[in-house]
Amino acid sequence: MRLPVAIVFQKYGDRLFAAAFSICRNQMDADDAVQETLIKYNTLELDYADESHIKAWLLRVVINRAKDISSSFWRKNKVAWEEYGETLHFEEPEDSRLFEAVMRLPKKYRIVIHLFYYEDYTIREIADVLRQREGTIKSQLSRGRKLLKKMLMEEWNDDE
């Protein structure tokens, strides 16, 4: 017996995710475990006795994959940016505050600001690297600067 992947996902996707999440305790890693399990199901030409056999196989595979992900070198050695920031040495206290403010920006602004100010890329070079239009990069840079200014002004006002 063999079911199409779409039906398997519809029937067992939530259960697979729940099993993976209970091990990984992280949505992205659990999603990865489920996705890799479904890919394995689709690529292996196994024949199952019945639906309960399919379900058991899927659960076994997703649990093993979730354990692998949880015990991976990357996962064990991952550090939150706040902890990492504490190990950095800044010449001025303001540099530390600026770093923290940049790290709190949404990803799309953080990346553009990093490339522009820390890597000295031009807007055209950033557009090429990110495969976006120059106008998009300009607006992201402008919005990122405004957010950064707002955050720093709020911090400065809180310190008074």
Instruction: Examine the pLDDT at 143 and tell me if it is beyond 80.
Output: yes
Q: Residues 6 or more apart from 102 whose CB is under 8 A from it?
A: 110, 113, 114, 148
Q: 60-64, 73-77, 84-88, 141-145: lowest mean pLDDT where?
A: 84-88
DSSP 115: I
Q: For residue 43, what pLDDT is reported?
A: 95
Produce one character per residue of 80-111: b if its CB has 16 or more CB atoms within 10 Å, e if not. eeeeeeeeeeeeeeeeebbeebbeebeeebbb
Residue ranges per domain, the chain? 5-76, 81-159
State whether CATH 1.20.58.340 applies to domain 81-159: no
CA distance 130 to 55: 41
DSSP labels, 138-154: HHHHHHHHHHHHHHHHH
Mean pLDDT of 77-103: 72
Mean pLDDT of 130-157: 90
Mean pLDDT of 128-141: 93
Q: What is the pLDDT of residues 91-116, one digit of tens each?
A: 777 777 788 888 888 888 988 888 89
Residue type, 125: E
Q: For residue 96, what pLDDT is reported?
A: 77
Provide the mean pLDDT of the chain: 86
The pLDDT confidence band at residue 155, using thresholds 50, 70 and 90, is confident
Q: Which residue has the higher pLDDT, 100 or 16?
A: 16
Nearest to 113 by CA among 86, 78, 149, 89: 149
Q: For residue 24, what pLDDT is reported?
A: 86
Range of 44-48, 72-76, 122-126 with top mean pLDDT: 122-126
